[in-house]
Structure 1
């Protein structure tokens, strides 16, 4: 029997889930080999005896911005190769043992690196408490190879993505230069294998809204020899699948008196708050805290900067012909200090005839400003969940000045996940985390679960001096991620409550006081 990718299976072995062998597990020589994965984050203080030498912990909040790094942990165990042949030269197919862990990514994820491959030994206390201790960290090129391939003949979620395979053939065959090259002992069976794969969420990532949550998927698989007489015969089994999410909210600009009249040309700034959720576990203060969204680079990632940078920028062509964003101080806008902030060329970004100037469309990329289109709309997408402060800095033509209306408000993107329990057998066997956490969560459509608890994603107005000029769709509608912002043409159209009215009354009070003072002075002069 041969699978679609050419892997040879014995007649009795089938890929998939059966009653005797649930998803992510296969039975071989009375041993169960699991394969699973979860989303993790790096911690500040490693905890001994946990997976990855305690350097990672499950990420329960699978929220990321486009451009963010995402760490995945793949877990399996070494097979019992007792009685199997092996070939240190790896030239004889029948003698060469196979053992490989693969990570398959959807189109919205780019492979960055295999950060580590480690082996752990299991211990059990007299009370039955299981723990794992680090045995060794394997070395790239001498213990394993990393192969990256395109997902071909694949439809659906994984079309256009890539597969990264960590091939441990060198280790299990005791190849020259490998960790066990000179050992006369058999490869230890049932050791926990922990692989950390790092990806980056890219511009092709699926964007979630309250009405349509869309996860960017990533799945694992395991391939290993299953016949002692012929190591070329291999079993390939599917493992766990995880999802990560990125979000957007929308601004819709209308006339105060006629909400059916949409307004083009309103300009907003958006500032990230320090309370963003979904950061890497234990990463400390969010790097974007207090920063303004400037524009997206060629990878689709947001560039952030100060308010001054958001309102004063230039597009410069560097020595290798790429266009990059710079501030008026000639500093490239960056959180990380890197200089690779190329701006994508395309339909929205116009390249001059001489090839030396790139004009960015504000309505599409929002360089420092988010500008409403002819339908009064502008979307702010590729965001992690959290709070964003929005300010109108320029009103549409023929409307009251933005400085007078002072429309400032905050949008909180919430994400209430549901624990995915399809990998429970793997997590219980290989990841005895103290509180049972496992970094595999899904985001359902917005609403309530059977117990009445909120689930899904929603955007909520949280604060700001917006009075009645900003409204958000209600929990019963599909547009709860849309903030409708109204503009007034005259003072009488402004709301009768809120800070805007207070400012106007204060101004009128000053004017009245000034006029009164003039009359008092004139009266005194006349009396004299």
Structure 2
């Protein structure tokens, strides 16, 4: 199940409502009434814009959070809310803008795109009251010509068509229409970025400003409650007017925000008042990734689905393992300059990718919290696939087992999905690690987090681990000294598919054979198979690459001078987490009774088959007695014959 990126909560329309004080909506500005689902990958939610103002008549137009442009830009006192408090408007009036929904580590820059014009005494807006900032007038006129709107008048003032735009109630780029506020803000953000060319706006904006355009960098501070990364961006002392706020650099993908800091007319005092503080909530998506192992099997293991850095299973050499990756589709504005979106997977050396098993699906989340998501298999043309360490390098210069590219030109074809689901198989090979280190498998989601400026990225990761085990045997004499020369045969839980083991270069060490994607033993191992497991000169026997279970070793040859053990010797490999029959727990890779981590340990003793003697006297005595008995028998037979005669 997944959580949609977009909120279904409609923003409150405040155009004809008296706003006294809006309750604090929390660090993210409130939630959708819909059950959150995508949030599980990151632990955050796509947020709704429940708050539009915090004090008297504080009205903001947010391309990402859908507020009322007509109220913000209207000059007719009869259409405005009645203000009761505030500071009288003057030429020196400023206000504070607080943008919620940002995160620690991000940077927010507010560009003053619309200027407020005052009359001669500075106590009232001029007629017309608002004008486009000079560096942007070329852009607005070009936008008007392309889309048949009149957002700028001949005198460079803000046109009525712009002031009368409808609220943007979803902030969804997939439904953004040319000539509407979300599309305009998106294109305006790109224009500023393209023309910046490393220049700085006033107040400095770290290279994100356009020459001649007033720009301010907000102070980002953490807030209590909610997610640990939740923060607000505060802009103190902003001149009145309209601002385009662009946030970048954190783990969230932000859409541009247009916030208007405008005076309100107070009918009672018959003066224009300025609120001390304006608030807005930025819409964003918080892409995350999830990985699971063998989630199709219901055998008591923890698959790791829907849980961060969780998931483990047990493996043997030759096993086929299924992995599932699920990643949120980032919500990029239509005109973002950077739309990178990749899913990369890094397997441990003990796993071999079955390349042809990779399947990629687009996921549409169910409208019902308990409903089933719909999946559509993507064609090879809808994404890029790189397999192999050399080809799979990401922006962080790491090498990946494989990498799926869903950004750039591919993004338009998949942006309508809520998530991407990747499924593939791997085969456990002879490099599988035995013990608690395990064989980890990590997925990395990489995506653009600075949509209009630098080629910067953020990542999210998840991992699962596969554990393998083994048997450790020490062959000793009755007094505990190591014995060589013993030979065993392996049995037990390997019996169904067992054809033998492969000897390693070191004496006394063996492993299960490698298998191909179809389950057959690979040719290089088939020729080396043996069922005779001979202990080393020091009496040691190691068998690696096993799953937990019950096994037997049957002695087929005893050391010289020792009695052979005729009954199978039982072994049990039990992960310490499952001791006592526990299920639905994470495996540890350690074994009950182990001596070496990951190996079930057993000492097997042999005893000699005879009793000791001193010299040969016993043998001679027995020989003499035998001769005497034989001679007596002959004499007795002769006497009996005489009597019968």
TM range, smaller chain: 0.5 to 0.7
The CA RMSD measured in Å over matched residues stands at: 4.5
- Name the residue aligned to 1:224: 447
For residues 152 and 169 of structure 1, what CA distance do their matches in structure 2 show? 15
- Contact in 2 for aligned 1:108/1:161 (Cα 8 Å): no
1:233 lines up with 2:455 in the alignment? yes
Equivalence map 1:487-498=2 (5 Å): 487-490=606-609
For residues 409 and 160 of structure 1, what CA distance do their matches in structure 2 show? 47
* C-alpha displacement of 1:103: 0.8
Specify which of 288, 293, 296 is matched with residue 500 of structure 2: 293
- Contact in 2 for aligned 1:143/1:168 (Cα 8 Å): yes
For residues 432 and 540 of structure 2, what CA distance do their matches in structure 1 show? 21
* C-alpha displacement of 1:375: 0.9
- Contact in 2 for aligned 1:138/1:144 (Cα 8 Å): no
Specify which of 268, 271, 292 is matched with residue 38 of structure 1: 292
* C-alpha displacement of 1:63: 0.6
1:458 lines up with 2:577 in the alignment? no
Give secondary structure in 2 for the equivalent of 1:293. Answer: coil
- Contact in 2 for aligned 1:145/1:168 (Cα 8 Å): no
Superposed CA deviations along residues 67-122 of structure 1, whole A, max 9, x for unmatched, are 2222211111111123335xxxxxxxx56x32110111222222222521112222
Higher strand proportion, which one? 1
* C-alpha displacement of 1:21: 7.3
Normalising by structure 2, we get a TM-score of 0.44
Structure scoring higher RCO (CA < 8 A, sep ≥ 6) equals 1
Superposed CA deviations along residues 40-90 of structure 1, whole A, max 9, x for unmatched, are 25459xxxxxx99xxxxxx976110122222211111111123335xxxxx
- Name the residue aligned to 2:54: none
Deviating beyond 6 angstroms after TM superposition, the runs of 4 or more aligned structure 1 residues are: 151-154, 477-480
- Name the residue aligned to 2:333: 82
Give secondary structure in 2 for the equivalent of 1:490. Answer: coil
Give secondary structure in 1 for the equivalent of 2:489. Answer: strand
- Contact in 2 for aligned 1:99/1:222 (Cα 8 Å): yes
For residues 139 and 393 of structure 1, what CA distance do their matches in structure 2 show? 56
Where structure 1 has 5 or more consecutive residues not aligned to the other structure, the ranges are 1-10, 45-50, 53-58, 86-93, 175-179, 181-185, 275-287, 305-332, 345-357, 361-365, 419-436, 445-455, 460-471, 494-525
- Contact in 1 for aligned 2:469/2:546 (Cα 8 Å): yes
Give secondary structure in 2 for the equivalent of 1:123. Answer: coil
Give secondary structure in 2 for the equivalent of 1:207. Answer: coil
- Name the residue aligned to 2:467: 245
Specify which of 545, 558, 561 is matched with residue 398 of structure 1: 561
1:203 lines up with 2:454 in the alignment? no
- Name the residue aligned to 1:123: 366
- Contact in 2 for aligned 1:297/1:342 (Cα 8 Å): no
For residues 409 and 443 of structure 2, what CA distance do their matches in structure 1 show? 20
* C-alpha displacement of 1:411: 0.9
- Name the residue aligned to 1:168: 406
* C-alpha displacement of 1:336: 5.6
Specify which of 428, 435, 441 is matched with residue 586 of structure 2: 441
* C-alpha displacement of 1:163: 3.0
* C-alpha displacement of 1:478: 7.9
Normalising by structure 1, we get a TM-score of 0.52
Return closer, same or farther for 1:98/1:289 CA change in 2, 3 Å cut-off: same
Return closer, same or farther for 1:160/1:375 CA change in 2, 3 Å cut-off: farther
- Name the residue aligned to 1:188: 416
Q: Which has the higher Rg, Structure 1 or Structure 2?
A: 2
1:482 lines up with 2:593 in the alignment? no
Equivalence map 1:106-505=2 (5 Å): 106-113=348-355, 114-125=357-368, 129-150=369-390, 162-169=400-407, 172-174=410-412, 180=413, 187-188=415-416, 191-208=418-435, 213-229=436-452, 233-256=455-478, 258-259=479-480, 261-273=481-493, 289=496, 291-295=498-502, 302-303=512-513, 338=520, 340-343=522-525, 367-400=530-563, 402=564, 405-417=565-577, 441-443=586-588, 456-458=590-592, 481-490=600-609
Specify which of 299, 305, 314 is matched with residue 63 of structure 1: 314
Give secondary structure in 2 for the equivalent of 1:342. Answer: helix
For residues 339 and 123 of structure 1, what CA distance do their matches in structure 2 show? 43
For residues 608 and 415 of structure 2, what CA distance do their matches in structure 1 show? 78
For residues 406 and 39 of structure 1, what CA distance do their matches in structure 2 show? 41
1:27 lines up with 2:190 in the alignment? no
The aligned length equals: 326
- Name the residue aligned to 1:102: 344
Deviates more, 1:246-255 or 1:100-109: 100-109
Where structure 2 has 5 or more consecutive residues not aligned to the other structure, the ranges are 1-104, 108-226, 232-249, 255-283, 299-303, 613-639, 641-645
* C-alpha displacement of 1:12: 3.7
For residues 139 and 62 of structure 1, what CA distance do their matches in structure 2 show? 31
